[in-house]
Structure 1
Amino acid sequence: MLLYNSVIKIIILVMLYFALPLTAAPLINNGSEEASGLNLYTAKYSVLRGKKKYGRATRKLSKNNTSYSLSFNTSASIFFYSIDTSEISNFLWQDNKVALLSYKGKDSRTFKKDKHLQLNFDRNNQTLIAKMNGDISEQTLKDDVLDPLFVFEMLRLDALKNDGFSNVKQLHYTVYDTSGFKEFNFLNGGRVTIDTPLGELNCIKLSRIRKNSTRKTHIWLAIDYDYIPIMLLQEHKEEEVATLLISSIEKH
């Protein structure tokens, strides 16, 4: 029973820390902002603790007639307990800038009621409309606010613009999630090389800073893959909770 409860805790923490925040941003042609469009791709990940696999995740960037969609789906299970999440963020790419349109997220767990979050970005009226489990609220839309899926997208786009943050020590973003507006702060740990299923990759290591918390999230952006996040490590009191590790990247 203790082992079972421990594994369930791992799965829950994995989904909380990796399902919503993580986003592999779109590839920009030749690593430059001066692109007519964004390259499309599918990235797949394994959810691990130590060397044991508990689940998987898939991230896909696709293009509609006039807009882009970034989706992220995760699944983890042990015995008869499972957690599945799905997210999608729709946005425009205009004048080498992102304009968010909408976001939709769903969290499904055994023995729990599904959780839903929907966001609509009304630029004309400068309004952010949020619908969470049936409750609707309106907020003043800030120009730089991001949805829970797109925050790491902006990290990667900014890495491309700023030469991999070579002269940047800290990064700050405003995100609207289930608890409202929230500040995401990252510390630049510099360039490192790590071993992955894709081989040894040169990366930038970023760490999310949380005030008054023993939790830490470390993100590695692959320089050789235009700064796609290829690994995340979640820690609690300096011990590994779970790791999200790239298994494949396919460009379209």
Structure 2
Amino acid sequence: MAKPGWITKSSLFNNSFSALISGALLFLFISFISTATADPLTESTQTELKAIKPYSIQYDVIHDGDKLGTAKRTLEQLSNGQWQSSMESKISYYLLSDKRRETSRFEVVDGIIRPIHYQSLADTSFRSDRTLIQKFDWDAMREQGSYEGKKWDMQLQEGLLDPLTEVLAVRENLMAQIPLQPIDISYRGGIRHHDFKVMGEETLKLKQGEIRTAKLQLVEKEGTRITNFWFAIDHDMLLVQIQRIKDGEEEAKLVATDWKL
């Protein structure tokens, strides 16, 4: 039997509890996986994407064996034909509480995922509320955004994604058995370059039972920060577990408790 394409090698804590989630969840700065640098699905000619269909998934946020809160990720189609991916979290730890909502409105054009409007709202104890907004104009090939008083207007490049749409793109590649490539995401007025590698298959014991997964890994900051991702092979490659490791120690884990397709 031929080895699946995704098996081939290719492809929250910050320093304080107030940055436990970045982009979605307290404790986990989740930089999800995307696709090719130049084009999210350059190796696929299909115009209808398998990964772009409604779903919802619930998570527990675990730290040192303790449940600190919950999170929810959803994908839905809007009345105008566009799509919206969202992530919500609510976590508390001693005197700290953190609520976040992250949304990405996007469209699919000729099999390519194109972000239109990305927004992240964070309400954390002992910190002022923070709002990140990114607007993508693909006709003018410009992105405008703002975060904590900083504003930018920069050139767009084909294939650029935001922190939410990249997980959809990587799921599409995994489902289509297309090897992953280095990817670029737009974040806070800059571009982050990610190079993920596939670690192989692994079976997780979740509340849903034993789940076969494809494990991927992202190494950042000269190896001091590692994030592991587990995608459910028999459940449309949903992201069912995330683990964050910093300086060799596990900071936290995001574990799926339920999902609907």
TM-score range normalised by the length of the shorter chain: 0.7 to 0.9
**1-side partners of 2:31 and 2:205: how far apart?**
20
Structure 2 residue 220 is matched with structure 1 residue 210: yes
Instruction: Tell me which of 146, 151, 158 is aligned to 2:173.
Output: 158
8 A Cα contact 2:24 2:87, kept in partner: no
In structure 2, the residue matched to 1:129 is 144
Equivalent of 1:199, from 192, 205, 209?
A: 209
- Root-mean-square deviation over aligned CA pairs: 2.6
Q: Tell me which residue corresponds to 1:104.
A: 119
Any unmatched runs of 5+ in structure 1? 1-6, 26-31
Instruction: State the distance in 2 between where 1:205 and 1:47 align.
Output: 19
The one-letter code sitting in structure 2 at the alignment partner of 1:249 is W
Matched, 1:15 2:25: no
Offset of residue 79 of structure 1 = 2.8
1:48 aligns with 2:62: yes
Distance apart, 1:13 and its partner CA: 5.5
Q: Secondary structure at the match of 1:225?
A: coil
**Which residue does the alignment assign to 1:72?**
87
Separation (CA, whole Å) in 1 of partners of 2:133 and 2:14: 27
C-alpha spacing 1:12/1:197, structure 2 compared with 1 (3 Å): farther
Is 2:229 aligned against 1:229? no
Aligned-partner SS, 2:234: helix
Letter in 2 for 1:68: W
* Aligned-residue offset at 1:221: 0.6
2:200 corresponds to? 190
> Are residue 94 (structure 1) and residue 109 (structure 2) matched?
yes
Shift of 1:159: 1.1
Provide the C-alpha distance between the structure 1 equivalents of 2:152 and 2:121, rounded to a whole number of angstroms.
Answer: 18
Q: So what's the TM-score if we normalise by structure 2? A: 0.81
Where relative contact order (Cα < 8 A, 6+ residues apart) is larger, the structure is 2
Cα drift, residue 97 of structure 1 = 2.7
Compare the two structures and name the one with the higher strand fraction.
1
Instruction: Give the Cα separation in 2 of the matches to 1:138 and 1:64.
Output: 27
For the structure 1 residues 17 and 212, does the alpha-carbon distance in structure 2 shift closer, same or farther, using more than 3 Å as the test? farther
Cα separation, 2, equivalents of 1:105 and 1:88 = 7
Q: Which has the higher mean CA deviation after the structures are superposed, 188-197 or 126-135?
A: 126-135
Answer yes or no: is the 8 Å Cα contact 1:46–1:245 preserved in 2.
yes
Q: Give the Cα–Cα distance (whole angstroms) in 1 for the partners of residues 83 and 104 of structure 2.
A: 8
Identity among equivalent pairs (%): 21
State whether residues 216 and 236 of structure 1, in contact with CA within 8 Å, keep that contact through their aligned partners in structure 2. Answer: yes
Q: Kindly indicate whether residue 157 of structure 2 is the aligned counterpart of residue 172 of structure 1.
A: no
Task: Provide closer, same or farther for how the CA distance between residues 106 and 117 of structure 1 changes in structure 2, counting only shifts above 3 A.
Answer: same
Structure 2: which 5+ residue stretches go unaligned?
Answer: 1-12, 35-44
Determine which structure has the larger helix proportion and give its number: 1
3-state SS in 1 of match to 2:195: strand
Q: 152, 157, 160: which is aligned to 1:145?
A: 160
Q: Is 2:100 the partner of 1:85?
A: yes
SS of structure 2 residue aligned to 1:84? strand
Quote the Cα distance in structure 2 between the aligned partners of 1:18 and 1:87. 6
Compared with structure 1, are the counterparts of its residues 13 and 222 closer, same or farther at alpha carbon in structure 2 (3 Å cutoff)? farther
Is the contact made by 1:87 and 1:106 (CA closer than 8 Å) also made in structure 2?
yes
